[in-house]
Structure 1
Amino acid sequence: MSTDLSASFDEQRFMRKPNVSEATNEFIGLAIQCEHSEQPSFAGQTYIGAAKCEALAGNHLGEAEQYLAAARQFIKAEAKLLALKFYSPDRENLEAAIGCYLQALSKYPDKSPIRTSVLMELANNLVSLNHKLEAVTYYEEALETVNDSTMKLLYMRNLLNLLIDCGKYDNALQLANKIFDSNNHIPDGILTEIQVSRILLTLLVKPDEGTKIESLKQLFNDLMNDTESEAIPFNIDLKLKLQSIIICSTIGDLQSLIGVAPDTKSYLTSQQADLLHALYSEQKDYNFVHS
């Protein structure tokens, strides 16, 4: 009798549905062990297992959390390879990380602020791994989800600097113009930064006079005519140096441009210093070709 009951009990255990919660916890426990033993790629794979268990249980937010945990481990694995100077042509870890981030994103509502933070995390990780051009897409997507005006301004400023880093000067100028034209209350420090970038980008891009937007024409007009304007909160020294850069660039005076550059750099961000160097290099190449 007891044997029959024991057999029946074992049969019930065998036939019952697996406990998804137990399986999830086992996957997570194994992932943590992999993390502690410095095996981030294996940890990532195991977190994916946990995510699939959460999906089976219908726990979409839990699924998203596990995909995010997996993504972070794959990013860690990619960073580890990069630090060791190993490069994977098929980008296994990086592609796995991006895939997990996108899986997590698909579980959140379109207007969820969590989407913004996930997109920015993905973009920032791509920047740290020197995939800046790829990061641009996710920065732009993140911007579309931001409603707060202060946060939007800061994200647009970050994207502007990223575009400059990528050498996308035309796109950077368009965005800088958009930042200025779409914000009525930009703090003076950020306004100065945006306006200096617009000046340097314009000198590099050289847009046709007919295609320049009105505020860009006004910026150059006010600056070169020493017109007092809230749109150019520059101190006297910076204003004089910018005027010199514009004149040197316009007339092709390379030596004067070289002379003014060192003293100007103390006012510039690293991206603006790169723009000034690009301006100098372009002028040098032009002079060489026409010498």
Structure 2
Amino acid sequence: MAAEGDFLMRYRAVSNKLKKRFLRKPNVAEASEQFGQLARELKQQDCLQYAAFCNLAMARCEQTLFNAPGEALALTDAARLFLLSERENHALRSPGFDEHLQAALNCYSFAIKVYIEMNQPVMAASLCLELGNALKEMNRPGEATVHFQRAAELQTQMPVEALLSLWELASCKILTRDYDGALVVLSEMQMMCQERGLQLPGTNTPVGAFMDIVAKCEISRVLLLMLLEPPPQKLLPEHAQTLERYAWESFDSHSQVSFLPENIFLLLQSVVMACQEKDIDSLKSLQTELWPLLSAEQNHLLHLVVQERITPSGQGV
């Protein structure tokens, strides 16, 4: 309580310096520096929310001084402190109403807005990603999707970075069981790679990082299609085209998807066939073979596919 009382006294003392007096202009720059010093001291004392409030006061001072970079930095510091305070509360299982998280969201939102007004979309996107990753780690993937989507929109001039943000978006949709939404995002990513990515001369095969992303998207899309089993009349052309490549009749189809390693392509082709034949034993065997070749998320999707075949009613999803 003593520390809290000392904080309030010093905070009010600095705030009083900002009050307008007759024929005397307040020294906003000095007040901003003092708020910053108080924030640093409180952070060292592990009084995170109080330090965040001081950074907010500092941001208001920088706004008054028309110092947008300083305002954005102070808002970002406040957001991170509020977020850290929220994480500590969760770790201690303290009861609350997520008030520190809400404060962090507001601070991030204002900082992003300032960076956009400064025509710095890269900085704005980095904060969107930072917030999205924090929410995902806190087991709030549904709330994180908005921020990953915003990051991708701000990264239009950086296709690889935009694709990585969209990958996180698709991952969050899978975590929230929005498999249709994840399929839409992954299909959009694959199209972006083929339209905007570097390609081998005379082909439509992406190279480098774009090839890696297309390969990951292809595997996840096939597994999602096996999980969702859309009826033929509702199958979109791009999804029908994908499944055609994995039909047993198309033995030369691997030449069309050379971005996939041959062993994974053949195993996926076998998975599609086993799903169509409802051959559960073959699916389990293929799951064992594919397990070391897929990511944790892809293995989760494959597990759902197998469970859906075991329990066709949908209880396995």
1:56 paired with 2:41, answer no
Question: Who is 2:76 aligned against?
Answer: 68
Is the partner of 2:154 in helix, strand or coil? coil
Is the partner of 1:16 in helix, strand or coil? coil
Letter of the structure 2 residue corresponding to residue 207 of structure 1: P
- Deviation at residue 237 of structure 1 after TM alignment: 2.5
Quick check: 1:191–1:231 contact (8 Å CA) kept in 2? no
Quick check: 2:35–2:54 contact (8 Å CA) kept in 1? yes
Answer with 158-167 or 267-276: which moved more.
158-167
Structure 1 distance, partners of 2:298, 2:268, is 12
Answer with 134-143 or 59-68: which moved more.
59-68
Pick the aligned partner of 1:139 from 112, 136, 148: 148
Quick check: 1:132–1:162 contact (8 Å CA) kept in 2? yes
1:141-290 equivalent positions in 2, closer than 5 A: 141-146=150-155, 147-184=157-194, 185=197, 186=206, 187-224=210-247, 225-226=250-251, 227-286=253-312
Structure 2 distance, partners of 1:246, 1:59, is 58
Structure 1 distance, partners of 2:179, 2:313, is 22
Distance verdict in 2 for CA 1:287–1:116, change over 3 Å: closer
Pick the aligned partner of 1:103 from 99, 110, 129: 110
Question: Who is 1:4 aligned against?
Answer: none
- Deviation at residue 149 of structure 1 after TM alignment: 2.0
1:32 paired with 2:32, answer no
Unaligned runs of 5+ in 2: 1-20, 198-205
Answer with 163-172 or 95-104: which moved more.
163-172
Letter of the structure 2 residue corresponding to residue 92 of structure 1: E
Question: Who is 1:124 aligned against?
Answer: 133
More RCO (CA 8 Å, sep 6+): 1
Quick check: 2:246–2:272 contact (8 Å CA) kept in 1? no
Answer with 203-212 or 24-33: which moved more.
203-212
Quick check: 1:31–1:46 contact (8 Å CA) kept in 2? yes
Structure 2 distance, partners of 1:134, 1:271, is 19
Structure 1 distance, partners of 2:141, 2:42, is 29
- The number of aligned residues is 276
Question: Who is 2:85 aligned against?
Answer: 77
Letter of the structure 2 residue corresponding to residue 99 of structure 1: N
Distance verdict in 2 for CA 1:142–1:17, change over 3 Å: same
Residues 45-65 of structure 1: CA deviation (Å, up to 9, x unaligned): 111111122223232332221
Letter of the structure 2 residue corresponding to residue 218 of structure 1: Q
Structure 1 distance, partners of 2:175, 2:61, is 41
TM-score scaled by length of structure 1: 0.86
Answer with 274-283 or 246-255: which moved more.
246-255
Distance verdict in 2 for CA 1:57–1:85, change over 3 Å: same
1:43 paired with 2:40, answer no
Is the partner of 1:85 in helix, strand or coil? coil
TM-score scaled by length of structure 2: 0.80
